Amino acid sequence: MRPMIAHAREGVVTHGMEAGLTAPDWPQLVPGELEELARQVPAMQGPIRLLWHSPRPFSAAARVQTARGELFVKRHYAGVRDVASLLEEHRFLDHLRARAIPVPMVIADGANCTAVAMDRWTYEVHALAPGVDAYRDAHSWTPVRSFGHARALGRALAQMHLAAVGFNAPARSPRPLMASFDIVGAEVLADALEGFVAQRPAVVRFLGAFNWRDEILGALGPLHEALRPLLPELDALWVHNDWHASNLFWSDAGADAQVRAIIDFGLCNRGLAVVDLATALERNTVAWLDLDGDPREAGGAIGRVPLAQAVLDGYCAVRALRPAERQALPLLMPLAHVEYALSEVDYFHGILANAHNARLAYPNFLLGHVRWFGGRHGRDYLAGLRGWLRSGRA
């Protein structure tokens, strides 16, 4: 049975896969279900009032006023995140919080569990993050707004990576909308690609219309061949995998604001610090939503090299990159989105039956991003990164 998808209602919009706003895929949270949830979560008991609905697309979330103060409630379709999956995230949050990383507390239910299953949904309730949600209306694929923000988010990412050391949970099981490093991080690219796809029947069905093996291996093969000798020198640890300015809360709305809190660990998984850094650079310093036409040429001047260098300035002031990481980072930039793009196909085709968005994920995003880095504008962007990395700064 397919999940209940929200019908478009006047005034109800979310961020989409493209630059504009769109009708939500999931019904908004409503007072009745919050009251039902409150019967299981003591901190929510008493009068409840909805204050604001998040425009993020992959779940339904809202700020709510309760008798004990404001909370943030998030509802997932259980086929995307069940209780066990959310608890994986929450254990990582606990580890980081114990090491002074500013992540909001997750509120437990009456049985001391931080994920609640009701019907086909899974809920989590968070304390409000401190600070200013300066990017709450920003799409995840838009560049950071200032050099000060770029440096600050780089510093905060490095601090999180240092704190993540010692969290030794295994990698998460395959699910839709899950970032990983199983293909690109493998010794044999073709075998890893086949295994990744075979574990996801919806991806198998969707890719059947494409010559996907030759397309993906042709695009990724040379980059992976150059990266492969460096892989044994890159240590694994748990990472965020969605480090965008909109997943951070800030000290104020100014251009030199500092990071006050980190949210949205829905993609966190065991991976590599340098891959997480590549993801942060890709998400915050390349204006992917402005890409038009052939990704290699027309409309391709979307890379923001000075912003990328500012991210590196901030990051390496806290955590110096090892020589192998400096070599690997430019090679990883075209590869950072590959596995998540295939996981988006799993979500859009397998959960929502949304062929348009599945086509945006593959071939537009997966192959398009790789091809942009191989074009003249992408090569210029990577040259800017290599110049900073060769300079020996930080």
How many domains are contained in the chain?
2
Q: Is 60 exceeded by the pLDDT of residue 222?
A: yes
Is residue 163 domain-resident? yes
Domain CATH code at residue 225:
3.90.1200
Tell me: pLDDT of 16 over 70. Answer: no
pLDDT in tens, 267-301: 999 999 999 999 999 999 999 988 876 666 656 88
What end-to-end distance do the CA atoms of the chain give, in Å? Answer: 53
Residues 192 and 330 placed together within one structural domain of the fold:
yes
Does 133 map to a domain? no
Q: Is residue 140 part of a domain?
A: no
- Do 311 and 153 meet the contact criterion of CB atoms below 8 Å apart? yes
pLDDT at position 20 over 80: no
Indicate if the pLDDT at residue 117 is higher than 80. yes
Same domain, 280 and 383: yes
Q: What is the average per-residue pLDDT within 220-232?
A: 97
- What is the tens place of the pLDDT at every residue in 43-69? 999 999 999 999 888 999 999 999 999
> What is the pLDDT at residue 381?
97
Same domain, yes or no: 329 and 378:
yes
pLDDT band, very low/low/confident/very high, at 162 (cuts 50, 70, 90): very high
Q: Quick one: 21 and 109 in the same domain?
A: yes
At residue 25 the predicted structure's pLDDT band, cuts being 50, 70 and 90, is: confident
Non-local CB neighbours of 26 within 8 Å, separated by 6+ positions: 3, 5, 6, 59, 60, 75, 77
CATH code of the domain containing 51: 3.30.200.20
32: buried, middle or exposed (CB in 10 Å: 19+, 13-18, 0-12)? exposed
Does residue 376 form part of some domain? Answer: yes
* Cα–Cα dist 24/70, whole Å: 24
Task: Indicate whether 132 belongs to any domain.
Answer: no
Q: Could you tell me the pLDDT band of residue 1, with boundaries at 50, 70 and 90?
A: very low
Checking if the pLDDT of 23 tops 80, the result is: no
Give percent of the chain above pLDDT 70: 92
Strands (E), 240-342: 248-250, 259-262, 269-272
> Would the pLDDT of 376 be above 90?
yes
CA distances in angstroms from 70 to 50, 53, 171, 321, listed in the order given: 10, 13, 33, 40
In a shared domain, residues 187 and 273: yes
Residues 255, 371 within the same domain: yes
Residue 247 DSSP code: G
Angle between helices 338-345 and 366-374 (to 10 degrees): 150
CB 251 within 8 A of CB 131: yes
Check pLDDT > 80 for residue 234.
Answer: yes
Q: Does residue 134 belong to any structural domain of this protein?
A: no
**pLDDT tier, 244 (very low <50, low <70, confident <90, very high otherwise):** very high
Q: Note whether 94 and 39 are same-domain residues.
A: yes
Task: List the domain range (segments joined by +) for residue 329.
Answer: 147-390
Q: Are 367 and 237 in a shared domain?
A: yes
Alpha helices in 51-210 (DSSP H): 83-98, 147-164, 189-198, 201-207
d(CA 342, CA 177): 9
Residue 71 lies in a domain: yes
- Residue that is last in its domain, among 127, 155, 189: 127
